[in-house]
Structure 1
Amino acid sequence: MKTVEDNGRATTKERARLDAESIIEAGLRIASQPGMATVSVRDLGAMLDAAPTAIYRHFRSKEGLMQALLDRLIAMCLARVTAPREQWRERLTQLSTATLDVFVMYPAVGLEAIVFSTEGPAELDTVELMLDAYAQTGLEGDELVRHYGALSTYVLSYASGIARAHSLSSTIQPEQSTPWWGRTLPVTAASHPQISALREELTALTDREIYFMGINELMDAAERAGARARERAAAGQA
């Protein structure tokens, strides 16, 4: 079993086993630290007691390292999808929930999701799951791809944005909801009557609330489009 000294630096036993897996594990430990906005090769070297050149022997670039870390997070998300295949909506809900929860657990990696395509097996498995889920509504071809693209982009962009908010704070806990507005509203009824009237409602909104509202709306739209596609197919066969 690997042992790590109290100061977070690797022991001689761990140094001798430096490989891609140990680097990924160390990267995730760094990414989970409060207020950590990036996983640097310097921090990895310090934690593993290794020179940056040793890191780059396993990952050709910083981008390659971040892709590997992000694909590991995506694999964690997939592992939380337990609903049976025929329950397509529940599977997409579980995947979306896991994406947000895992990204805020490892915000320094999660915030990169909208920037990087991992090109890894977990990402491809996620694409397959989402396409298969929407295909069960009756969607196919270009229409299926468009609805998949809308949901995928929404989940990744919003979850990575929330992860970024967590990465910038050393006090927000992963399970905490962040405010959607997050700033004061210095307006009056005369200058901005709608904002003034809805001030309490606006400031009470949380990111998680809006996140799941958007996901439900996108799934509703896909379900309606799938129903129309089935109707057109039935009419064509009549």
Structure 2
Amino acid sequence: MPTAKSARQTTRETAPRKRRPRDSLSRAVILEAAEKIAERDGLEGLTFGALGTELQAHSTSIYRHFRDKDELVLELIDSLRARSYGSELVSTGDWRDDLRLISRLIHEHYLRYPAFAMQMAARTTRRPTEFKNVEFALDAFRRAGLEDDEAVVATRVFGNFTRAVSALEASLQVLPDEERTMDELAWAVEYRHLSADDYPNIHRVADKLRPVGDPRLFFDGVEMLLESVEARIAAKKRKKRAK
């Protein structure tokens, strides 16, 4: 039996529409419509048929600008990044503050567009804003004193952490209110009543436990990663002095 959502989508795709003026489509116009559809119906609702209805154009005309849905989604992800924080990604001159900056901007971006969070975290867009992000992080780690091989690993670890935790927090935003409330209550209530015999460590810190969506956790994690980098650099300097 079709859901109300699928019925609405079918109605939109089959409803009569006016013909759009010839040659009035562009990549920018299509991306704007794609963002609107995805935020309304989810990425699963972002089809070329839905785009055609939204744009009052035949769906085949979309293929003149995008090879397929995957190319469209990757372009959309990168364009959202550029619009969201591209102009703010400017070095402070301090590698630690630069990494704090990029992590904060990406974190805010994910929370701004929760409907795209999992795709943003998992996909490699191979586009300008992504390239700029990687270049910015690599430069910061090299200025910190890491060798190339270490900087590559650090960039990947830092990027994975930033995207994964940001996506997790963003996904909590799109959970049904009841499910999100129950999960939050579990940390506030159920964990505090676990047996000290069965779970001694949880019982010991029960009143200090933070829920999964606690916003402080992301920034605490960033600082822990920066401290790890500093510790590695200090250890390397000690090793050199000892030779």
Band of TM-score, shorter chain: 0.7 to 0.9
Q: Of the candidates 70, 73, 85, which is equivalent to residue 77 of structure 1?
A: 85
Q: Of the candidates 15, 40, 46, which is equivalent to residue 40 of structure 1?
A: 46
Q: Of the candidates 50, 60, 63, which is equivalent to residue 53 of structure 1?
A: 60
Q: Kindly indicate whether the alpha-carbon contact (under 8 Å) linking 2:138 and 2:155 is maintained by their aligned counterparts in 1.
A: yes
Q: Of the candidates 215, 220, 223, which is equivalent to residue 230 of structure 2?
A: 223
The alpha-carbon distance between structure 1 residues 199 and 230, as it changes in their structure 2 partners (threshold 3 A), is closer
Residue 182 of structure 1 corresponds to 184
The alpha-carbon distance between structure 1 residues 105 and 202, as it changes in their structure 2 partners (threshold 3 A), is same
Shift of 1:151: 0.2
Distance across 2 between alignment mates of 1:15 and 1:56: 15
Distance across 1 between alignment mates of 2:240 and 2:18: 64
Shift of 1:37: 5.8
Residue 89 of structure 1 corresponds to 96
Q: Which amino acid aligns with 1:188?
A: L
**SS of residue matched to 1:59:** coil
| Cα displacement string for residues 37-78 of structure 1 (whole angstroms, at most 9, x for unaligned residues) | 656124433332234323333221221111111112332333
Residue 3 of structure 2 corresponds to none
Q: Residues 96-175 of structure 1: matches in 2 within 5 Å? A: 96-169=103-176
Distance across 2 between alignment mates of 1:102 and 1:62: 22
Distance across 2 between alignment mates of 1:213 and 1:15: 53
| TM-score between the two structures when normalised by the length of structure 1 | 0.75
**SS of residue matched to 1:112:** helix
Distance across 2 between alignment mates of 1:57 and 1:167: 33
Q: Kindly indicate whether the alpha-carbon contact (under 8 Å) linking 1:15 and 1:48 is maintained by their aligned counterparts in 2.
A: no
| Cα displacement string for residues 53-110 of structure 1 (whole angstroms, at most 9, x for unaligned residues) | 23333221221111111112332333222442x2222222121111111122222223
Q: Kindly indicate whether the alpha-carbon contact (under 8 Å) linking 2:20 and 2:56 is maintained by their aligned counterparts in 1.
A: no
Unpaired runs of 5+ residues, structure 1, are 1-6, 172-177
The alpha-carbon distance between structure 1 residues 31 and 192, as it changes in their structure 2 partners (threshold 3 A), is same
The alpha-carbon distance between structure 1 residues 50 and 209, as it changes in their structure 2 partners (threshold 3 A), is farther
Distance across 2 between alignment mates of 1:52 and 1:120: 25
Aligned residues: 219
Q: Kindly indicate whether the alpha-carbon contact (under 8 Å) linking 2:20 and 2:57 is maintained by their aligned counterparts in 1.
A: no
| Greater shift in the superposed pair: 107-116 or 181-190 | 181-190
The alpha-carbon distance between structure 1 residues 193 and 60, as it changes in their structure 2 partners (threshold 3 A), is same
| TM-score between the two structures when normalised by the length of structure 2 | 0.74
Q: Which amino acid aligns with 1:211?
A: F
Percent identical residues = 26
In angstroms, what is the RMSD of aligned CA positions? 3.3
2:69 matched to 1:67? no
**SS of residue matched to 2:184:** coil
Which structure is richer in relative contact order (CA contacts within 8 A, separation 6 or more)? 1
Shift of 1:142: 1.3
Q: Of the candidates 15, 20, 25, which is equivalent to residue 27 of structure 2?
A: 20
The alpha-carbon distance between structure 1 residues 127 and 198, as it changes in their structure 2 partners (threshold 3 A), is same
Residue 202 of structure 2 corresponds to 195
Q: Kindly indicate whether the alpha-carbon contact (under 8 Å) linking 1:74 and 1:122 is maintained by their aligned counterparts in 2.
A: yes
